[in-house]
Amino acid sequence: MRIGFIGLGVMGAPMALNLVRAGHELTVHRVKERSRHLLDEGATAAASPREVAEKAEIVVLMLPDTPDVETVLRGDDGVLAGLRPGTLVVDMSSISPVVTVDLAAAVREAGGEYVDAPVSGGDVGARDGTLTVFVGGDDGPVARATPLLEVLGSTITHIGPVGAGQAAKVANQVIVAGTIQAVAEGLALAEAAGIDAGTVRTALSGGFASSRILDLHGRRMIERAFDPGFRLRLHRKDLGLALEAAEHHGAAVPGTRVVAAQMDDALARGWQELDHSALFRLVGETDA
């Protein structure tokens, strides 16, 4: 397929690479040094989102936040300006479920189709093509998007109509944030008690506390290895979306408010670019 890809960050660049290596014709925008290898692999650079849309039958977005997606779609030289009839927009960013419905309507009004398909799995999942994908949209557009999504992810679930994918991703980020904080406090307590946190982590992995977060992020915490897979500032952004959605729907999320406040503390300490597992530093390091 002729695919346009916009958003070549920590996760977007390896996702785009997987699409090129799967044999798709790829047009990309805003190529920087860390993503220049995509051109060596056969991708073509475009000068604007509009040019990406003009060359693609499917446009994939993998951008940091809601305003970024709005700008790329609706800007003067944006995707909507170059959208051809029948073009499918697949937004894999994590953005507001409410705004997603409005963006989908704008794409349909311009003659295109829209699917929201945010992902979970971090940079490792992006590189390995094993992302979990939460899909929202009508059956027809989702069927068109599925072969592309199968290159990028190993667990792909059609949740419901447009916006449902983003709502599911928000729920995912709430659960991940709470679990990271629980693992951080548990391992910090183990260290404070004078026992080896690595041994505790191994023991817990055989019981009810076992989780992927205990496995991967527990190791990061013990090793104090906080180079980003998923940046803390982006997870805090996602919790902002969760709090907005909770207010919109009248849902109570007291634990999420606590973790969001802890993330604010971490960001105030300048940890924006650290992995979200760096929350451990708030409870596990006396000099934090």
User: pLDDT for 177-224, tens place per residue?
Assistant: 999 999 999 999 999 999 999 999 999 999 999 999 999 999 999 999
CATH (residue range 167-284): 1.10.1040.10
Q: Which residues are catalytic?
A: 169
Write down the pLDDT at residue 122. Answer: 85
pLDDT at residue 286 above 90?
A: no
pLDDT tens profile 19-30: 999 999 999 999
pLDDT at residue 261, as a whole number: 98
β-strand 88-91 against 119-120: which pairing, if any? unpaired
Answer positive or negative: Cα dihedral of 246, 249, 250, 251: negative
Closest CA to 3 of 145, 173, 123: 145
The overall average pLDDT reported for the chain is 96
Where does the pLDDT of residue 288 fall: very low under 50, low under 70, confident under 90, or very high at 90 and above? low
Give the C-alpha separation, 37 to 27, whole Å: 13
Q: Looking at the predicted structure, is the pLDDT value of residue 225 above 90? A: yes
Please name the CATH architecture into which domain 2-160 falls. 3-Layer(aba) Sandwich (3.40)
pLDDT of residue 160: 98
**Averaged over 154-169, what is the pLDDT?**
98
* pLDDT on residue 157: 98
Where, residue-wise, is CATH 1.10.1040.10 in the chain?
A: 167-284
| Predicted confidence (pLDDT) at residue 235 exceeds the cutoff of 70 | yes
Q: Classify 45 as helix, strand or coil.
A: strand
Ramachandran region, residue 265 (left: φ > 0; alpha: ψ -120 to 50; beta: rest):
alpha
CB contact burial 209-230 (16+ within 10 A = b; e otherwise): bebebbebbbebbbeeebebbb
**Above 90 in pLDDT, residue 162?**
yes
pLDDT at 169: 96
User: So what's the pLDDT on residue 184?
Assistant: 98
- The tens digit of pLDDT for each residue in 104-138 reads 999 999 999 999 999 998 888 999 999 999 999 99
| pLDDT over 80 (residue 165) | yes
* Nearest residue to 247 via CA among 232, 257, 261: 257
User: Given a cut of 90, is residue 43 above it in pLDDT?
Assistant: yes
List every span in the chain annotated with CATH 3.40.50.720.
2-160
| 59 close to 80: Cβ distance less than 8 angstroms | no
Percent of the chain residues topping a pLDDT of 70:
99
Angle at 154 between CA 218 and CA 263, to 5 degrees: 35
Tens-place pLDDT, residues 61-95: 999 999 999 999 999 999 999 999 999 999 999 99
